[in-house]
A and B are shown apart, each in its own frame.
Chain A
């Protein structure tokens, strides 16, 4: 590349606001959809734009939010985790049992989260990181097996929990905000910090971007992967505990859709399934999309099953838009060219990378 062409391509020194805007590029589609949905519902539904309803939207997606934050890390590292629902179920039964055994609330909660982390590391992380087995097979197997463990352990009975800790983390309000919202905020801040401000965060992107290159550069890729699944398991443990609080019981039936919904939210938020890119910032908007949609459809009296159809279609459109936008000149240029050519064939055959000579 010639120096003058480079000077032209080099952006001017950016301020923080411009940097933030630039980094939002992967999740702009879902951000736009969120805003449209939010404004549309505020205008059409009387009960929507109310403080209480805002809180309800947030706390209704608290389990999904926490799981999806960790799932973002898993996707950045190049994998995914189908077993989070099962780990959450396991941890909720564990929590119910130890509380039943009159363990104090806080240690019980901490142990629950640790259990999730250990299970995630042992059942998924070791097999994926050390033995390099297929992510799909390993997490499918652990999901299946752990769902069985939950059934056996709980003897297919719901275990009701009356200990105060569960309502303290799932129902009570502090300083005018419901507890799950505080936890969501805290989890988000921690994940954002780890992602952007620690070497571990960089290891994630490096490992997911190119496992080989990361390993040859001296990064502990195996440990990184084991840790990612441990984190995913720990987040599932916390989510499971909140789930217990919201229902008031640990249920024997594992919610198999949590993992897939979380993956959908992460993908909506612009993180790629290939690994090496994306971030928890986008995941926020992916999760919010699902929350707002559920709430709005409820309020409008639409059958709630529609949310799955809408989520699926939007997910597909977001990923499609991203792919088209990547071909040449961004989404805008893409659409412009489509119109100029009168809907000509997209040149997805553009195999030559323009910067490669």
Chain B
């Protein structure tokens, strides 16, 4: 990465790329330039700004309507992902695409197993796979099944697969969105090894601290256009955010909750255990209090919320909402008692993508009505419009939820719990995969809901989110609550060491 090695011709240059889907202009002249081999280039922008479309074009999955693509100064056209690979561009998608029942080696060399005529040469295959994994510092057993790996390890397998094609440009679409902090460190170590070998990495993430920890160059997109590009150091997080959002107020106004616990807390959990994931958890959340759950992936944060809501079998001495004990443990019974639950995956759990925004918003509010009764459309339109306005959903009520951008989808998933406000709302990763502006929006709505007396229990893998939002943070480690920190005594560093199992 020395200055003299810098060639005048960029490694990758996408110029003035246009792409339209029906009436939607996803790209309106976007540029992307990776200057040289061995750099980390961050691609930033809010949800719906055209990042994924641009990456789709780069990886050969979409064909641009206009625009040029040049690698090492030579113009190329990609007809398919295969031809992109042939030109050295390999992409790892946001959702892992591994075959869980094949071995690590088979997954790394998927479709390219060694040996042709006399069947598969397993020895050779294993050796190639190990070599590819070594490039990123992963020492997994090539014969173990991918099913047995953790999600972050599966991602490493995918990166190894991409590298084993001799890629010059590795595209990682939100690789950190489902990783915990220490897993992100592992990923970054891998990225540093890869770039040291002269491969350039294009990296998409919504977490700005990460972006500036690893990137050499950045490109910022907004509304299908490239609005800023250059050295990461010239921008810094605030400069990048300014470019991404234009003028938006990102501060969250809040009042620190004052400790005034009474006997009948909004949510009271005593001695809750679930085999293999929760070990004797007790906690209280007061009216209007925002309590965070910090912890690594697998620490039991998500499982705790599921167990409280009644989707995960668990034994407890007592789970009570506003003093009333929950006897029957099912989502429906919990909702009746005044609990709400925002699941972590909006696409499969939070929303029915094939139904309209209105039907999704009205779903929980009307789940107690007689099933042969007729919904009153006018009423429903009125209260759904009010909610949409309140949480700032920028989409018509009658459009299908699946056609919305990630941020809007998440607002619908949250909005449906605000129609008939529950006493306690459990939220798992309330802002996963949404852009900064939508995130600030969502944080503000949550604070507002708390100000009106709703108790919130929020699980998040992003500690800075919990620090910004919560009155109190409970730290979980291996299924137990190991610490409880008030807002003013919690810091990034303290959370980092506590979640890692140190005290």
Contact = CB atoms under 8 A, between A and B. Distances in A.
Say whether A associates with B: yes
Interface of A: 1-3, 5-6, 8-11, 194, 197-200, 202-203, 205-206, 209-210, 212-220, 276-277, 328-330, 333, 345, 347, 349-357
B253 interface: no
A1 B367 CA distance: 31
Interface in B362-407: 363-364, 366-375, 394-396, 402-406
A213 B223 CA distance: 31
A347 B49 CA distance: 23
B48 A218 contact: no
B355 A205 contact: yes
Interface stretch (B103-111, B160-168, B175-183, B341-349): B341-349
A6 to B, nearest CB: 6
A227 to B, nearest CB: 8
Contact of A1 (B80, B93, B394): B394
A174 B81 CA distance: 64
Given A1-B24, A357-B51, A10 B61 contact: no
Contact of B24 (A9, A214, A218, A349): A9
Contacts of A333: 22
Contact of B53 (A218, A349, A354): A354
Contacts of A352: 52-53, 55-56, 61-62
A230 to B, nearest CB: 13
Given A199-B366, A213-B343, A357-B46, 20 more contacts: A1-B48, A5-B24, A6-B395, A194-B372, A197-B374, A205-B355, A210-B348, A212-B343, A217-B416, A218-B335, A219-B363, A220-B332, A328-B22, A333-B22, A351-B56, A354-B26, A356-B52, A357-B48, A357-B405, A357-B406
A210 B349 contact: yes
A347 B63 contact: yes
B25 A355 contact: no
A3 B341 CA distance: 30
B367 A217 contact: yes
B368 A218 contact: yes
A294 B61 CA distance: 44
B394 A6 contact: yes
B78 to A, nearest CB: 11
A198 B372 contact: yes
B415 interface: no
Interface size of B as a range: 35 or more
Contacts of B26: 354
B393 to A, nearest CB: 11
Given A199-B370, A205-B354, A217-B363, A8 B23 contact: yes
A218 B61 contact: no
Of A8, A9, A197, A329, most buried by chain B (CB within 10 Å of CB) is A9
Name the residue among A5, A205, A215, A218 with the largest chain B CB count within 10 angstroms.
A218
Contacts of A200: 371-372
A96 to B, nearest CB: 32
B351 interface: yes
B331 A357 contact: no
A9 B375 CA distance: 28
Contacts of A9: 22-24
A213 B372 contact: no
25 contacts: A1-B48, A5-B223, A9-B23, A9-B24, A11-B396, A197-B374, A198-B373, A198-B374, A198-B375, A199-B366, A199-B369, A200-B372, A205-B359, A206-B352, A206-B359, A210-B351, A213-B349, A217-B331, A217-B364, A218-B335, A277-B354, A347-B61, A347-B63, A347-B80, A349-B81
Interface of B is mostly: loop
Contact of A216 (B49, B331, B395): B331
Contacts of A349: 61, 80-81
Interface in B12-69: 21-26, 45-53, 55-56, 61-63
A54 to B, nearest CB: 33
Given A218-B331, A219-B367, A349-B81, A206 B355 contact: yes
Nearest to A224: B371
Contact of B50 (A3, A277, A328, A357): A357
Given A198-B373, A216-B311, A220-B332, A351 B24 contact: no
B363 A206 contact: yes
Contact of B364 (A11, A218, A277): A218
A202 B368 CA distance: 13
A329 B355 contact: no
Contacts of B352: 205-206, 209-210, 213-214, 276
Given A205-B354, A216-B311, A3 B367 contact: no
Contacts of A216: 309, 311, 331, 341, 343, 349-350
Nearest to A14: B398
A6 B399 CA distance: 11
A356 B49 CA distance: 10
Interface string B319-353: 00000000000011001100001010000111111
A346 to B, nearest CB: 11
Given A8-B23, A210-B348, A357-B405, A215 B331 contact: yes
Given A1-B394, A206-B355, A198 B371 contact: yes
A89 to B, nearest CB: 30
A178 B44 CA distance: 67
B394 A3 contact: yes
A213 B354 contact: no
Given A198-B374, A209-B355, A356 B332 contact: no
Nearest to A227: B371
B92 to A, nearest CB: 13
A11 B21 CA distance: 16
Contacts of A8: 23-24
Nearest to B54: A357
Given A202-B359, A219-B363, A357-B406, A213 B394 contact: no
A243 B80 CA distance: 55
B23 to A, nearest CB: 5
A86 B310 CA distance: 39
A212 B406 CA distance: 19
Nearest to A274: B354
B161 to A, nearest CB: 16
Interface in B188-223: 223
B178 to A, nearest CB: 16
A352 to B, nearest CB: 4
Given A5-B223, A214-B352, A357 B53 contact: yes
Contacts of B366: 199
B246 to A, nearest CB: 10
Contact of A354 (B24, B341, B367): B24
A106 to B, nearest CB: 23
A356 B405 contact: yes
A351 B61 contact: yes
Contact of A212 (B23, B61, B349, B370): B349
A212 B61 CA distance: 30
A307 B482 CA distance: 70
Contacts of B363: 202, 206, 214, 217-219
Contacts of B364: 217-218
Contacts of B311: 215-216
A20 B67 CA distance: 40
A9 B24 CA distance: 7
